[in-house]
Amino acid sequence: MKIHEYQAKRILAKYGVTIPRGDTADTYTQAVDIAKSLGTEVNVVKAQIHAGGRGKGGGVKVCKGLEEVETHAKVIIGMQLVTHQTGPEGQRVKRVLVEEGMDIKKELYCSVLVDRATQSVVFLASTEGGMDIEEVAEKTPEKIIKVFVDPAVGFRSYQAMQLAYGLQVDATDPKLVRPMAKLMSSLYNAFVGEDCSLVEINPLILTGDGRVIALDSKVTFDDNALFRHKELLDLRDLDEEDPLEIEASQADLNYIKLDGNIGCMVNGAGLAMGTMDIIKAYGAEPANFLDVGGTATTERVAKAFQIITSDSNVKCILINIFGGIVRCDIVAEGIVAAFKEVGLNVPVVVRLEGTNAEKAQEIIASSGFGDQLQMADGLREAAKKAVAVVQS
Residues with catalytic function: 109, 200
Beta bridge partners of 351: 320
Q: How many CB atoms lie within 10 A of CB 141?
A: 9
Nearest to 96 by CA among 34, 36, 19: 34
Hey, CA dihedral for 348, 352, 356, 358, is it positive or negative?
Answer: positive
Backbone angles phi, psi at 260, to 5 degrees: -85, -165
Backbone angles phi, psi at 283, to 5 degrees: 95, 15
Q: Is the peptide bond before 174 cis (omega within 30 degrees of 0)?
A: no
* Separation between Cα atoms, residue 96 and residue 118, nearest integer Å: 39
Rounded to a whole number of angstroms, the CA Rg of the chain reads: 25
β pairing state of 104-115 and 96-100? unpaired
Backbone angles phi, psi at 124, to 5 degrees: -110, 130
β pairing state of 120-126 and 217-221? unpaired
Query: 216-233 burial by CB neighbour count: b if 16+ within 10 A, else e?
Result: bbbbbbeeeeeeeeeebe
In this structure, are residues 188 and 112 in contact, taking their beta carbons and an 8 Å threshold?
yes
Helices (H), 81-167: 133-139, 157-166
In this structure, are residues 324 and 331 in contact, taking their beta carbons and an 8 Å threshold?
no
Q: How far is CA 234 from the centre of its chain?
A: 18
* Separation between Cα atoms, residue 355 and residue 357, nearest integer Å: 6
What DSSP string describes 324-368? Answer: SSS-HHHHHHHHHHHHHHT---S-EEEEEEETTHHHHHHHHHTSS
